[in-house]
């Protein structure tokens, strides 16, 4: 389809459709029995022309193949035209000579051959012309429909463009979030595996100063204590669910309090393990979040009713404790303590 003819169609249908829109009921308003026009004829024609100009965008959204057949008008020079006509006139003579020289077809049938060649060459051109004609009709119908709708068509197309841009933005953000989640999951897995590998060495280091009277060396002792703990299942809170979920057991209790700290947002935690009767009479191992430089802390509980450990923290986490040579496991989730500030518990 020629862009020149399309422009004429758009202009003509824009004017005609704007006039139709002017006289339509959608442009009428009745007040006290008097019918008034909402928009003037010139305004309706202007909206009609604007709507037809936006038809290609509408067809783009509709993924129509009409846009593929549009081309600029090609001008043929007079000399080229004569050359083309000369070639077309000489073509049948060339074909007839070949037919006579081969002597496969009698001379009488040479005309029939020429006719058949011409008819076979003319049929595709005829089909092409029919397709072009139907495309022009469809284009005219689209433009006339848009012009008659006027501002409603423009509003519809604008909302379509905005919604498409919004959906593209949402899809982009979704892909970015998915990528971030994958990266976080990867980092979480690496952190969990690193903590799992370093936990036994941290516990061994913490047990170096142990006052436990045992012939078992610190490495074997560390392996023995860790064998009683399940693997890490929460990468962002590694001690959660590993120590039974109870803060009191066998007369021993694990608690945590807090006080203000010099850094804004931080709290100075005071972690305590105490017994209701008698003394602790065992080493106490505190398991903290793996973000701390030392996440396993050894406390000497022999001859003491309670032991405590202070450390600044920025957010809530789960604390685990092992005492009584591994026979008592305690667990305390700071996020569940209502006396702690809400912003701290939500971090």
| CB contact set of 273 (below 8 Å; sequence gap of 6+) | 252, 253, 254, 255, 280, 284, 286, 299, 301, 306, 307, 308, 321, 323, 330
List residues bridging with 30 in a β-sheet: 35
10-20 tens-digit pLDDT: 888 878 777 77
263-293 tens-digit pLDDT: 888 999 999 999 988 899 888 999 999 888 8
More reliable by pLDDT, 101 or 308: 308
For domain 209-345, which CATH number applies: 2.115.10, 2.40.360, 1.10.3660, 2.60.40?
2.60.40
**What pLDDT is recorded for position 119?**
47
Whole-number Å distance between alpha carbons of 313 and 291: 10
More reliable by pLDDT, 53 or 78: 53
* Residue 329: pLDDT over 70: yes
pLDDT average, residue stretch 110-137:
57
Query: What's the distance, CA 49 to chain centroid?
Result: 38
Whole-number Å distance between alpha carbons of 347 and 337: 13
SS3 content of the chain, % helix, strand, coil (to 5): 55, 15, 25
* Residue 253: pLDDT over 80: yes
Structure tokens that stand for 280 in this block? 């602790």
Beta strands in the chain (DSSP E): 28-31, 34-37, 248-249, 252-260, 267-275, 283-287, 296-300, 306-313, 318-323, 328-333
**What pLDDT is recorded for position 220?**
62
* Residue 153: pLDDT over 70: yes
Instruction: Kindly list the domain boundaries of the chain, sorted by start residue.
Output: 3-149, 209-345
157-203 tens-digit pLDDT: 777 777 766 677 777 777 777 777 776 666 666 666 666 556 766 77
Query: What's the distance, CA 174 to chain centroid?
Result: 2
198-219 tens-digit pLDDT: 676 677 777 665 644 444 556 5
Q: What is the pTM assigned to this prediction?
A: 0.49
**What pLDDT is recorded for position 169?**
73
**What pLDDT is recorded for position 307?**
94
**What pLDDT is recorded for position 95?**
44
Sheet (strand 267-275) strand order: 248-249, 252-260, 267-275, 306-313
Averaged confidence pLDDT in the chain: 75
H-helix segments, 150-217: 151-206
What are φ and ψ of residue 308, in 5° steps?
-140, 160
223-245 tens-digit pLDDT: 777 777 888 888 888 999 999 99
**What pLDDT is recorded for position 244?**
92
């Amino acid at each position: 389809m020629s862009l020149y003819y399309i422009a004429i169609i758009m202009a003509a249908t824009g004017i005609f459709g704007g006039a139709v829109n002017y006289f339509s009921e959608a442009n009428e308003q009745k007040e006290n029995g008097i019918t008034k026009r909402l928009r003037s004829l010139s305004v309706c024609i202007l909206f009609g022309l604007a709507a037809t100009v936006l038809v290609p965008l509408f067809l783009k959204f509709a993924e129509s193949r009409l846009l593929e057949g549009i081309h600029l008008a090609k001008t043929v020079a007079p000399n080229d035209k004569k050359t083309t006509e000369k070639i077309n006139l000489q073509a049948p003579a060339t074909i007839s000579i070949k037919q006579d020289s081969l002597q496969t077809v009698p001379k009488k049938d040479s005309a029939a051959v020429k006719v058949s060649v011409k008819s076979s060459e003319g049929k595709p051109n005829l089909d092409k012309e029919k397709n072009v004609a139907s495309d022009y009709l469809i284009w005219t119908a689209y433009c006339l429909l848009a012009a008659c709708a006027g501002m409603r068509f423009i509003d519809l197309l604008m909302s379509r463009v905005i919604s498409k841009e919004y959906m593209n933005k949402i899809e982009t953000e979704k892909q970015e979030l998915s990528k971030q989640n994958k990266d976080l999951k990867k980092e979480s897995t690496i952190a969990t595996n690193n903590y799992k590998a370093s936990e036994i060495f941290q516990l061994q280091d913490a047990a170096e100063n142990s006052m436990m009277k045992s012939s078992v060396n610190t490495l074997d002792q560390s392996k023995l204590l860790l064998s009683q703990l399940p693997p890490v299942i929460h990468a962002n809170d590694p001690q959660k669910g590993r120590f039974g979920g109870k803060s009191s057991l066998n007369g021993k209790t694990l608690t945590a309090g807090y006080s203000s700290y010099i850094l804004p947002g931080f709290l100075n935690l005071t972690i305590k393990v105490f017994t209701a009767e008698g003394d602790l009479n065992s080493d106490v191992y505190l398991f903290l979040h793996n973000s701390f430089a030392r996440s396993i802390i050894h406390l000497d509980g022999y001859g003491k009713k309670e032991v405590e450990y202070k450390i600044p923290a920025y957010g809530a986490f789960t604390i685990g404790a092992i005492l009584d040579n591994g026979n008592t496991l305690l667990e305390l989730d700071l996020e569940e303590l209502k006396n702690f500030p809400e912003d701290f518990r939500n971090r």
